[in-house]
Amino acid sequence: MTASTDDERSLIEAAQADPARFLELYDRYVDRVYAYVSRRAGSRVAAEDITSAVFEQALTKLSTFEWRGVPFAAWIFRIAANALTDHWRREGRDAHDPPPDVPDEREYRDLEQRVSLFQLVDRLPDTQRQVIQMRFVDGCSIRDVAVALGRSEGAVKQLQLRALESLRKSMGHHG
């Protein structure tokens, strides 16, 4: 973490001086924030709305971020925790529910692993990635995927198995 701290500090200062550099912070954090929010949001639509709100606010408030030993990750996860609380309140969830915690070291490691998995999906061969996307993101049945890709159901199941085996193998190397 310390190796990248100086690098991150100069990136934040650059983004404070030139808002266009904020996109580099976005690229670095969007999957982590999404992974954190998604586990708690209850639905994909809510996870996307909350993630959008987090980065809109982060861009607005970036000028107020001061480098005082609080890492940028802690700052942006605090924004995310507050956005989740707002979301729960709008949904009418019990106000006595404890507010969400920002990730501790262990959850942060889990998030990093999940982010590595997302990046491995991005690098799968096109058809395997399409199958994963349609099954897990769009919630399509094997039959729907088969029709959309013009393949047999057996072939789609085969692609699904191969994709998962390949991800598990690569995660093994990461973990």
Partner 1 sequence: MADEPLIDRLDRIIDALVAREDATAALGDAEAAPLARVAAELRHYPRRDFTMRLRAQLEGRTKMATAVAARNIRAGFTSVTPYVWVPDRGFADFLVRVFDAVETSVAENPGHGTHRELRIGSSMLMIGETGEHGGSASPRPVAFHVFVEDADAVFAKALNAGGTSLGEPADRPYGERSGFIRDSYGNHWYIATSLGPSAVPKELRTITPFLHAQNVGEYIGFLQRAFGAVEEARHEMPGGAVPYARVRIGDAALEMGGPVDPMPGAYFLYVDDADAVYEQALVAGATSLSAPADRPTGDRIAFVQDPLGNHWYIARSI
Convert residues 90-129 into a mask of x (bound to partner 1 by CB under 8 A) and - (unbound). Answer: ------------------------x--xx--xx-------
Q: Does 165 bind partner 1 (CB under 8 A)?
A: yes
Closest CA to 61 of 84, 78, 41, 36: 78
- Alpha-carbon distance of 93 to 68, in angstroms, equals 34
Convert residues 59-88 into a mask of x (bound to partner 1 by CB under 8 A) and - (unbound). Answer: xx----------------------------
Q: Is 121 in contact with 167 (CB distance < 8 Å)? A: yes
Pick the stretch among 2-10, 47-55, 72-80, 91-99 that binds partner 1 (CB under 8 A).
47-55
Structure token pair of residue 6: 């100086």
- Alpha-carbon distance of 155 to 105, in angstroms, equals 41
Q: Does 4 bind partner 1 (CB under 8 A)?
A: no
Contacts of 156 (CB under 8 A, 6+ apart): 131, 142, 145, 146, 149
- Binding residues (CB under 8 A) for partner 1: these are 18-20, 22-23, 26-27, 30-31, 34-35, 38-39, 44, 47-48, 51-52, 55-56, 59-60, 114, 117-118, 121-122, 132-133, 135-137, 139, 141-142, 157-158, 160-161, 164-165, 167-168, 171
